[in-house]
Amino acid sequence: MNGLDNEKDRAALKSRLEEELADTTFTSHTKVLQRTHPSSRRAGLHALWNRELEFTVKPGSLIIGTAALLLLLASPYAVHTLHNTPFPSDKRELIEAGGNVYWEDIYRKEVKRLEN
Amino acid sequence: MKIRIKVKHLVLYVLLPLIVLAAAAIWTPTAIERYQASRTPEALRLKTLEEIEQASSKRKLELIVQEAIRPSRYDLYRFDYQPGGNRLMVASEDTEETGFLTPEDRLPLLERYIREGEDEALLIRAARQLAYEYGALGRSEDGEKALKQTFDRMQPGSQGRLELLLDRAEYALNQNDADKAEGLFEQLRKQTGSRGADLNTRTDRISSQILFAQGRPEQAATRAGSNLHSGTPIPRFVSPSPSPSSADSNHSKPESELMLYRNLLERALSRGTTSPASFSGTLTYGDGTPVVRAGLFLRSEKDPGPVREGEPYRTVTDQNGRFDIRNVVPGSYVLELGLDFDQLDGWSWPVQAKDWMVEIGDGQHVEYPIVIQPLIELQSPVNDQEITGDTIDFSWSPIEGAAYYDVIGSIPDQDGNAYVGTAIRNRIPENRLSLTLNELYGTSGGLTMPDDGSWEDTDPNRLLAYMNPDARFSWNVSAYDAEGRIISQSGGYRLSEDNVGNMPFFHVRQRSLTEADRLLLDGKLEQALQLYRRNIDIDPQDTESLYMAIRLLNAKFEIGGDIEAQSEEAELRKRLPNSDSP
């Protein structure tokens, strides 16, 4: 009984659907297939490009990560400043210390060297 | 926390900026270095030369003016270290972006300008610079030619032409060609006609010098005095000044310059020593290399102070370090040098006025070799070393020809400044000195005279001297020859990194401050003295308190004029062990 009813219902549904879709024609079979089953490399890349990633990040590690990143970026500047004294041909000052006359930048450098 | 992001957004907003930043971080330092390298004097020199080389002919002249003629660095007789001032006074470091060319670079540029340039003032400046540089190269004929060539380009009757005629006469005079100088001077007289008597004091000075060189000292003296004290202001033609900031002006205090020369002449006349003398020699470093293009000035002992334009006796050493000053009026002079930093760096030019007095006799040809010695290198104690043992051992590099050395110590004041040193020990025959700590404590640091005359305002740091564990002491050494003339010292210009050497600082921290010391450093000198007295009464072996009581009593007598303090000091001195002199 049940089977019969089902059969009937399905037939009715089908005829209704056919009736409703009478004006619609589906032509993009290929596009759909390309999306669901990518075949070419370009399409593959495109899919990758648009892929959505999901990360789980703890606030702590986010802060640490950002700090590390900034440090990494700043390191070349820091190294540069540490290794470079003011440039000689810029305004230089003479200073007197212990009866000698020095260029101030060289004197400071020497004092720093002796401290270490 | 969950972050959802599409790959494309991750790349666009995160990775790409990171890459750009990283690239900038890597590139920036090298770019800065490249920029800095392009700012060294040598790089700027090459760039300037290239720029001039490539410029169109009109632009070329403009650049020559800007880069080779105008910069004040090229003023005649201008040196980083100018004589006549304090030893430490130096010309301020030029911060202008020009003036990097060497004399050799400038010669062809200046030559070009005197051929093609139009501006009268700049032509004169260029011609003078050329004559000066050729003179320094020992090519005085070329110098004379440059002056003549520029002179020929001037409008007849123009001020510039007269100026250059005078320059030529002075140049000829300095080349010891008095007759040529006179001929040129006669031309000047003819051209100025009736204005002859009205010419400026420079004209009078040069004319007077010519007369003296020709053996007519009385006339020379008359000429030198003719425009002085005449009651009316001295009319003179105005030299077109090429740059207002330039020190190369012929009219800075011309009257006093003439007066100076007249005084020399009058003194010579009164002594009857009127035959032209000469002063020549070589200026070399201790290792034998000549000091090239250094200034040499014979200055009247009666008129020290900064070097003026129009000084009669000045010259520049040539490629062999040779100098030669002719037609000098006999008398006493002070010898002074003009040196640039690179000439001075690491070398000692000890200035003690008396040592550089030169006596030039009647008609005498003085040959005077000058040797600049290397700075003495201090070996110990240096670089803020702390003295730990019972003795302090001073040592330094020996100087050839030194008969003895003086070791001088400096005690810093409240602000850490040590302006004047006092002898730690004098006349040390060797290049080392060993003192026990007690001897060092007993060494005086000198006495400052307070402005208000109150003995309690003298600097307590100097009184406590080497007994102060908190002070940073410095020391230096001077070397003397057998005649007692200073030949070198450790203090001087140490500019390049190679010459910095050891720093002359040391500390003596073995003592701690006593209550009396603290009172002293607080400026309570009278209270400190009481306490030191009490300390000696309690412990007669307390030499440190004894030293301090003696120093304070000495200050009280020397500054305050307290006679009682003097006799008490004398009594205390008897209790000193050996021959200590606090």
Q: Where are the domains of chain A?
A: 2-49, 55-84, 88-116
Contacts of B474 in chain A (CB under 8 A): 97-99
**A105 Cβ under 8 Å from any chain B Cβ:** no
Q: What phi and psi values does residue B365 have, to the nearest 5 degrees?
A: -105, 100
**CA of B228: how far to CAs of B208, B225, B257, B260, B366, in Å?**
13, 5, 11, 11, 31
- Write down the pLDDT at residue B249: 37
- What is the C-alpha to C-alpha distance for residues B475 and B443, in angstroms, rounded to an integer? 13
Where does residue B87 rank: exposed (0-12), middle (13-18), buried (19+ CB within 10 A)? middle
Q: State the pLDDT confidence band at B232, using cuts at 50, 70 and 90.
A: very low
Interface test with A, best of B503, B505, B506, B507 (most A CBs within 10 A): B503
CB-CB under 8 Å, A48 with B6: no
**A99 Cβ under 8 Å from any chain B Cβ:** yes
Residue of A53, A76, A114 with shortest CB distance to B25 = A76
- What is the C-alpha to C-alpha distance for residues B508 and B185, in angstroms, rounded to an integer? 68
Residue of A52, A100, A103 with shortest CB distance to B4 = A52
- What is the C-alpha to C-alpha distance for residues B243 and B74, in angstroms, rounded to an integer? 12
Ranked by mean pLDDT, which of B229-238, B283-292, B411-420 comes out on top? B283-292
Min Cα distance B265 → chain A (Å) is 39
Q: What phi and psi values does residue B71 have, to the nearest 5 degrees?
A: -50, 135
Strand partners, B473: B506
Q: What is residue B176's DSSP assignment? A: T
**A55 Cβ under 8 Å from any chain B Cβ:** yes
Q: Which two tokens stand for residue B126?
A: 């260029």
Closest residue in B to A47 (Cα) is B7
**A75 Cβ under 8 Å from any chain B Cβ:** yes
Q: Is the ipTM of this complex over 0.95?
A: no
Q: State the pLDDT confidence band at B355, using cuts at 50, 70 and 90.
A: low
Contacts of B40 in chain A (CB under 8 A): 88-89
Q: Where are the domains of chain B?
A: 1-37, 44-214, 275-373, 378-573
Q: Which two tokens stand for residue B581?
A: 């002199």
Min Cα distance A12 → chain B (Å) is 44
Closest CA to A103 of B411, B27, B140, B80: B80
pLDDT tens-place string over residues B486-536? 888 998 889 998 999 999 999 999 999 999 999 999 999 999 999 999 999
CB-CB under 8 Å, A55 with B93: no
Contacts of B28 in chain A (CB under 8 A): 76-77, 80
Residue B148's contacts (CB-CB under 8 Å, 6 or more residues apart) are B168
Map residue B524 onto helix, strand or coil: coil
- Write down the pLDDT at residue B65: 92
Residue B552 has pLDDT above 70, yes or no: yes
**A61 Cβ under 8 Å from any chain B Cβ:** no
Query: For chain A, what's the residue count?
Result: 116
Mean pLDDT score across all residues of chain B: 84
Closest residue in A to B95 (Cα) is A91
Min Cα distance A59 → chain B (Å) is 7
Contacts of A110 in chain B (CB under 8 A): 497, 500, 503
Contacts of B33 in chain A (CB under 8 A): 84
pLDDT tens-place string over residues B403-427? 999 999 999 988 878 777 889 999 9
CB-CB under 8 Å, B504 with A99: yes
For the domain bounded by B44-214, which CATH number is listed?
1.25.40
pLDDT > 70 fraction of chain B, expressed in percent and rounded: 87
Q: What share of chain B is helix, strand, coil (3-state, %, to 5)?
A: 45, 20, 40
- What is the C-alpha to C-alpha distance for residues B175 and B169, in angstroms, rounded to an integer? 10
CB-CB under 8 Å, B95 with A111: no
Neighbour tally for B558: CB within 10 Å: 16
Contact between residue B148 and residue B184 where contact means Cβ atoms under 8 Å apart:
no
- What is the C-alpha to C-alpha distance for residues B263 and B475, in angstroms, rounded to an integer? 42
Long-range contacts of B541-545 (CB under 8 A, 24+ apart): B543/B438, B543/B441, B543/B442, B543/B576, B543/B577, B543/B580, B544/B441, B544/B467, B544/B511, B544/B514, B545/B514, B545/B516
CB-CB under 8 Å, A77 with B28: yes
CB-CB under 8 Å, A102 with B494: yes
- Write down the pLDDT at residue B506: 94
Q: State the pLDDT confidence band at B178, using cuts at 50, 70 and 90.
A: confident
- What is the C-alpha to C-alpha distance for residues B368 and B356, in angstroms, rounded to an integer? 11
CATH of B275-373, one of 2.60.40.1150, 3.40.50.2300, 3.10.580.10, 2.60.40.10: 2.60.40.10
- Write down the pLDDT at residue B286: 85
Query: Mean pLDDT lowest for which of A100-109, B8-17, B350-359, B436-445?
Result: B350-359
Furthest-apart CA pair in chain B: how many Å? 107
